[in-house]
Amino acid sequence: MIVVIDGPAGSGKSSTARAVAERLKIQYLDSGALYRVATLIYLQADRNREVFIDLLKESKISFYFKQKKFHVFLDNIDVSEDIRSMKVSDAVSEVATMPDIRSYINQLMREQVKKDIYIADGRDLGTAVFTDAAMKFFMVADLNDRAERRFRELSQKGIETSLEEVKANIAGRDQVDSSREADPLKQAEDAILINTSGLTFEEQVTQISNQVKKLITEHKH
């Protein structure tokens, strides 16, 4: 069973999904991290599309969620921190617009969620990847709120950047994600809208947790 949270960059969906998974003791799947691994391979291929596809086919991508952290491995090497660099952030939307890459990552995720209960976050999970998800959420927030949130995250990890650079990056990704031909960012018709502007982190986690907990209880009975 899978529950999905979609929304634009920096809306807080990843940290919220992780917290919900931790609170309810279910699995967490970070789709954005998988696209970032693909982007890492793309950069290794010097942005050469043909070399990139060949490298991706030869690569082994694996992942697991443990102790509040989503661990990602590329050919058995932990790249969980490498994929969060600004270099990867600046190129990830470019990779995410490639239909064959989307198909590859989508299949990777579908295989993973066949067993256990998962909560996942992304851009198009409810509209393209898991259209039959047990429950769907769509998180939104003001651009300034999202930029400040992402800037704090990066600063805490010791990644040097400026608030203006982060804001420009998110605005650019919004534009690319919303206008791409393959599975553009949009709210699924059956998704529950969660606006995190003005909400504390605890409030947004509780709001989603309560609904997912009810779903799991109903599912078990």
40 against 141, higher pLDDT? 40
What pLDDT, in 10s, does the model give residues 154-203? 898 888 899 999 999 999 888 888 887 777 788 899 999 998 888 888 99
Please determine, for residue 76, whether its predicted confidence score (pLDDT) is greater than 80: yes
pLDDT at 55: 95
What pLDDT, in 10s, does the model give residues 112-137? 898 889 999 988 899 989 999 999 99
Of residues 10, 22, 71, the one with CA closest to residue 208: 22
The residue-averaged pLDDT of 88-107 equals 91
Sign of CA dihedral 192, 196, 199, 204: positive
Rounded to two decimals, the pTM is 0.75
Cα–Cα distance for residue pair 92/9, rounded to 1 Å: 11
The answer to whether 100 touches 26, Cβ cutoff 8 Å, is no
Tell me the CATH number of domain 2-206, given options 3.40.50.300, 1.10.3720.10, 1.20.120.420, 1.10.1740.10.
3.40.50.300
Distance of CA 133 to the CA centre of its chain: 16
The residue-averaged pLDDT of 68-84 equals 94
